[in-house]
Amino acid sequence: MEEKNKNNHILDEVTGSEYKYGFYTDIEADQAPKGLNEDTVRFISAKKNEPEFMLEFRLKAFRHWKTLKEPDWAHVDYPPIDYQDIIYFSAPRKKPQYESLDEVDPELLETFDKLGIPLEEQKMLAGVAVDAVMDSVSVATTFRETLAEKGIIFCSFSEAVQKHPDLVKKYLGTVVPYTDNFFAALNCAVFSDGSFVYIPKGVKCPLELSTYFRINAANTGQFERTLIVAEEGSYVSYMEGCTAPMRDENQLHAAIVEIIAHKDAEVKYSTVQNWWPGDKHGKGGVYNFVTKRGICEGDNSKISWTQVETGSAITWKYPSLILKGNNTTGEFYSVAVTNNMQQADTGTKMIHLGKNTRSTIISKGISAGRSNNSYRGLVKTTRNAENARNFSQCDSLLLGDQCGAHTFPYLEVGNRSSVVEHEATTSKISEDQLFYCLQRGIDMESAIGLIVNGYAKEVLSKLPMEFAVEAQKLLSISLEGSVG
Amino acid sequence: MLSIKNLQVSINGKLILKDLDLEVKEGEVHAIMGPNGSGKSTLASVVAGRDTFDIDKGEILYRDQNLMDMNPETRAREGIFMGFQYPVEIPGVSIANFMRTAINEKRKHLGLEPLSGAEFLKLMEEKKKLVDIQSKLTNRSVNEGFSGGEKKKNEIFQMALLEPRLAILDETDSGLDIDALKVVANGVNKLRRKDNATIVITHYQRLLDYIIPDYVHVLYEGRIVKSGGKELALELESKGYDWVKKEAGAQIQG
């Protein structure tokens, strides 16, 4: 191992130095010039003051990306993206955009209120100047101290690259290699920042790593990257994303999440995604093309994904799990809502490699307006995955008669002792249900909110408590105006 | 409280209710009886505000307001309650959550503060006792997997929570065994007050052994062909609907 690292280091040095030629971009600039080439990649790496191995990683990814074609198999439709017309790096906005909340779009504030987001956090999310002594900042500091005592590392990806390069080097790209797919390769080449979580052996993380993240979520970039490593016997519950609507001038978002669970470790990953979906005609929304994957590396480990997807014009996302260790468990709980012209193609992949591996998939799609909502999932048990078990349930709920719901299950069973079950239902909110609510004095919007939340309850109950409440409100808000 | 005059209702051009008149005053219990297909459930739905019907003519006044100007949720918040013949299931929505939403919508309409979680739970316990409903029922999703009897009891429980001014119970007795019937009837009797009114729609006289009506109306082919006191129900029971049909036939022809 030592030897290999040393070799890599030398390799890095050699290859790295070569790249210095032809490097011409002014690194004092706040943003990279439009377009993507090796210089852009070098610019980003230099801007972030990264060690050679990172630059090497990015360049390899970039060179591979150039050989790839954008995938077109998803059940989504959008005009071609001009990858040369994108600015791949701009320095995070440090200056607040506004002096007070009065200057912020009232529609946005109304949504914040409906979600019940505290005032100080509203300011943060909307980009309003806040006092340095603000509560949440000190909360964040307290958090860090508590975590540090346990040896937990929880920081931005950039910070991890600087302070814990060995860990980053050891795990980066091990679950989602840069060769994985078009968007993953793109992310590897140009990723801006993200989060890094490391839970040492035997440590149960005493906090939901969620509140902290949310406070910091407002300034996350276009190409995020999250890496979570849970050592033997550790536990962590991690939440990212935000229920508040995130408006962003960047149309293309291509994130990567990698999770590694060692022996007896457990990782719970929850996310709420509410990127700007565009206007009613689908103009201007975010394209969210994400690669998320976890590996249950050691025996008896467990990873669960819980996601609530309500935003983005297009969502292309399949949080997946490789159940490599024996007796490992994978779970996927998803609620995906599409309204107006939104398109979502989302699901999961459960790859059973180890013996006695278990996976559960609960997917709840809700379509309204003229949107399209697809579940796409693969369950695969290999020859060695004796006694593997999977249960999948994919339900679709339709509101109105102009939307679409689709289910694309792929099942590959590689041995005789595995059992794979798939159940699917499609239903509509009935007139009778709505009238029943109306007759009890509950108006149409609230009735739809109630019924939809009831339908998604099984998944929402998996979210950390504080987010479950917000997610419920979010579902109702996302479907406002979808009926009648 | 409720005054229906000359009401004519059709669905897809087919007449369901014809020249119907009905006066219900505070403190009264009215029973509407009639054979299947006579228009009983339509009457209930029209008052509750279901929009699958065409109101061709006539008027419905509720507390001197034109009911036609109110949407179904406003009618409910103004105190009209309908006990459904076939209560629907709403999976994943607990009765507690459902009813708290309903009560708070009503309170908002009346300009009152919403009930807190604790206040609501207290109210729920109170009403559970009143209508003798099992505790565990309220933790379950609305009507999901309920037996016929449980569904009907749940309707009465909801009625107790909402304290309507005017309750219309649409065949609440259908499909009930005698014990469930007693629970339902008992609930209705306990909720009976001087300032509210109840319309009980039923096919059988059986329910009227437990809920004693002030007036009984017989609905046949969309008209009220006979009205009387509680003894009319007994008369119907012994003579059957054929008797009414014959009389009505003579009336219509004459």
CATH code at position B172: 3.40.50.300
Residue B210, domain member (yes or no): yes
Report yes or no: B222 at the A interface, CB cutoff 8 Å.
Answer: no
- As given in the structure block, the two tokens for residue B221 are 């082919």
Report if residue B7 sits inside a domain. Answer: no
Domain that holds residue B192: 29-53+64-253
Q: Which of A362, A425, A427, A442 to mutate to probe the B interface, most B CBs <10 Å?
A: A442
Counted domains in chain B: 1
Gap from B52 CA to chain A (nearest CA, Å): 10
Q: How close, in Å, is residue B35 to chain A by CA atoms?
A: 24
- In angstroms, the CA A448 to CA A482 distance is 9
Amino acid at B26: E
Q: Under a CB-based contact definition with an 8 Å cutoff, are residues A376 and A441 in contact? A: no
Contact A438 B49 (CB under 8 A): yes
What is the pLDDT at residue B134? 74
For residue B72, the chain A residues in CB contact (below 8 A) are 435, 438-439
Quote the ipTM score: 0.95
Position B5 in a domain:
no
**Number of CB pairs < 8 Å for A and B?**
73
Taking alpha carbons only, the member of A350, A428, A363, A351 closest to residue A395 is A363
Give domain status of residue B59, yes or no: no
Segment A379-390, tens digit of pLDDT:
999 999 999 999
Report how far residue B23's alpha carbon sits from residue B1's, in angstroms, rounded to the nearest whole number: 8
A138 three-class SS: helix
Alpha carbons A382 and A388: distance in angstroms, whole number: 9
Per-residue confidence (pLDDT) for residue A286, from 0 to 100: 81
The residues of chain A scoring below 70 in pLDDT are: 1-30, 90-99, 101, 104-105, 107-109, 111-112, 114-142, 210-221, 242-250, 282, 466, 481-484
CB-based contact (8 Å) between B141 and chain A?
yes
Per-residue confidence (pLDDT) for residue A12, from 0 to 100: 46
Output the pLDDT for position B249. 67
Residue B4 lies in a domain: no
Q: Extract the residue ranges of chain B whose pLDDT is less than 70.
A: 249-254
Residue A450 and residue B98: Cβ atoms within 8 Å? Answer: yes
**Longest Cα pair distance anywhere in chain B, in angstroms?**
63
Asked whether residue B73 is domain-assigned, the answer is yes
User: How close does chain A come to B90, measured CA to CA in Å?
Assistant: 7
Chain B nearest CA to A267, separation (Å): 27
Tens digit of pLDDT for each residue in A284-337?
Answer: 778 888 999 999 999 999 999 999 988 788 888 999 999 999 999 999 999 998
Amino acid A367 reads S
Contacts of A450 in chain B (CB under 8 A): 90, 93, 97-98, 101
Residue B18 lies in a domain: no
Sign of the dihedral through C-alpha B179, B182, B183, B184 = positive
Q: Is A272:A227 a contact under the CB 8 Å cutoff?
A: no
Domain for residue B240, yes or no? yes
Kindly compute the dihedral angle of the four CA atoms of residues A59, A61, A67, A69, in this order, to the nearest 10 degrees.
-140
